[in-house]
Structure 1
Amino acid sequence: MAEPLELYDVTIIGGGPAGMYAAFYSGMRDLKTKLIEARNELGGRMLIYPEKMIWDVGGFAPIICEQLIEQLARQAQVFDPTIVFGQHIKGLEVQEDGTYMLVAETGERHWTRTIVLALGRGILKMAKLEIEGAERYEVSNLHYTVQELEPFRGKKVLISGGGNSAVDWANELESIAGSVTVVHRRDQFGGHEKNVIRMKTSSVCVKTPYALSQLHSSDGKTIGKVTICHIETGESEQLEVDAVIVNHGLKSDFTGINEWGLHMNDWNVFTGGKLETNLPGIFAAGDFADYTSKVNLIAGAFSDAALAVNSAKLFMDPEAPRMAYVSSHNDRFAEKNRALGVAID
Structure 2
Amino acid sequence: MASGHTHQTDVVIVGAGPVGLFAVFECGMVRLRCHVIDVLDDAGGQCTALYPEKPIYDIPGFPRIEAAELVVRLKAQAAAFRPVYHLGEQVQGLEKLSGGFWKVTTSKGTVVQARAVIIAAGVGAFGPNRPPLPGIEAYEGKSVFYYVTQREAFRGKRVVIAGGGDTAVDWALSLAEIAGRVSVIHRRDKFRAAPESEAQLKALAKSGKLDLVVPYQLHGLEGAAGQLTAVTVATLDGDARRIEADALLPFFGLSMSLGPIADWQLELQHNQIAVDASTTATSKPGIFAIGDVVTYPGKLKLILTGFAEAAIAARSAYALIHPETPLHFEYSTTSGLPTA
TM-score normalised over the length of structure 2: 0.88
Relative to 1, partners in 2 of residues 1:323 and 1:172: Cα closer, same or farther, differing over 3 Å?
A: farther
Match of 1:75 among 74, 77, 82: 77
Q: Secondary structure at the match of 2:46?
A: helix
Matched with 1:26 is: 27
Relative to 1, partners in 2 of residues 1:263 and 1:320: Cα closer, same or farther, differing over 3 Å?
A: same
Structure 1 segments (4+ residues) deviating >6 Å:
none
Match of 1:131 among 130, 133, 136: 133
For 1:105, the aligned partner's letter is S
Relative to 1, partners in 2 of residues 1:304 and 1:186: Cα closer, same or farther, differing over 3 Å?
A: farther
Cα deviation code 1:172-205 (max 9, x no counterpart): 2121112222223355544444434433333443
Relative to 1, partners in 2 of residues 1:308 and 1:198: Cα closer, same or farther, differing over 3 Å?
A: farther
Cα deviation code 1:240-299 (max 9, x no counterpart): 222111122222343221111012256421222132211111111111112222222222
Matched with 1:305 is: 310
Alignment of 1:284-295 (within 5 A): 284-295=289-300
Matched with 1:241 is: 245
For 2:162, the aligned partner's letter is S
Matched with 1:283 is: 288
Q: Secondary structure at the match of 2:100?
A: coil
The answer on whether the counterparts of 1:229 and 1:236 sit within 8 Å (CA) in structure 2 is yes
CA distance in 2, matches of 1:76, 1:16: 12
Structure 2, unpaired ranges of 5+: none
For 1:9, the aligned partner's letter is D
CA distance in 2, matches of 1:259, 1:152: 41
Matched with 1:215 is: 221
CA distance in 2, matches of 1:82, 1:103: 15
Q: RMSD of the alignment, in Å?
A: 2.5
Relative to 1, partners in 2 of residues 1:184 and 1:158: Cα closer, same or farther, differing over 3 Å?
A: same
CA distance in 2, matches of 1:211, 1:138: 19
The answer on whether the counterparts of 1:17 and 1:286 sit within 8 Å (CA) in structure 2 is no
CA distance in 2, matches of 1:195, 1:298: 21
Matched with 1:180 is: 182
The answer on whether the counterparts of 2:275 and 2:296 sit within 8 Å (CA) in structure 1 is yes
Relative to 1, partners in 2 of residues 1:255 and 1:24: Cα closer, same or farther, differing over 3 Å?
A: same
The Cα of 1:89 is off from its aligned counterpart by 0.6
The Cα of 1:318 is off from its aligned counterpart by 4.7
The Cα of 1:216 is off from its aligned counterpart by 2.0
Match of 1:156 among 158, 179, 202: 158
The answer on whether the counterparts of 1:30 and 1:332 sit within 8 Å (CA) in structure 2 is no
TM-score normalised over the length of structure 1: 0.87
Percent identity over the alignment is 33
Q: Secondary structure at the match of 1:332?
A: coil
